[in-house]
Amino acid sequence: MVNHEAQLDRVFSALTNATRRAMLRQLEERGALSIGELAAPTALTLPGVMKHLDVLEGAYLITRAKDGRTMFVTLAPEPMAAAMAWLGRYQRFWSGSLERLAEHAKREEGRARKAKR
């Protein structure tokens, strides 16, 4: 069993890269894909793609399965759900801060309009 905090670190670290996020997006939209299908929209070499897949697999965000000579990659949503749950704990703070910021901006806009008159 992987330590929960270490798992979150791996997930968030894996998500820092745009190429890996694009791969996850493809898997979410299209389902299981071959490594070649995942590599097609990128300018990366196959070894480069494999390194990204290793990071995603290390974070347990994907699984790989071989069918004949073709390796297929599938999205594993459980680690992302755990990361979303962790982020959700802080949503109340973010939401409150954003609401206060919006209220402040409205007050400042009102003051600026009055000052122009």
Domains of the chain: 4-79 (1.10.10.10)
Instruction: Say how far apart CA 38 and CA 41 lie, in whole Å.
Output: 7
Beta strands in the chain (DSSP E): 33-34, 62-67, 70-75
pTM value? Answer: 0.74
CA distance 48 to 25: 18
Look at residue 2 in the predicted model and tell me its pLDDT. Answer: 58
User: Please, what sign has the CA dihedral across residues 4, 38, 27, 88?
Assistant: positive
Residue 60 · residue 2 · CB < 8 Å: yes
pLDDT by 10s per residue, the chain, length 117 = 458 888 899 999 999 999 999 999 999 999 999 999 999 999 999 999 999 999 999 999 999 999 999 999 999 989 988 898 888 887 777 666 767 777 878 888 888 778 877
pLDDT at 89: 81
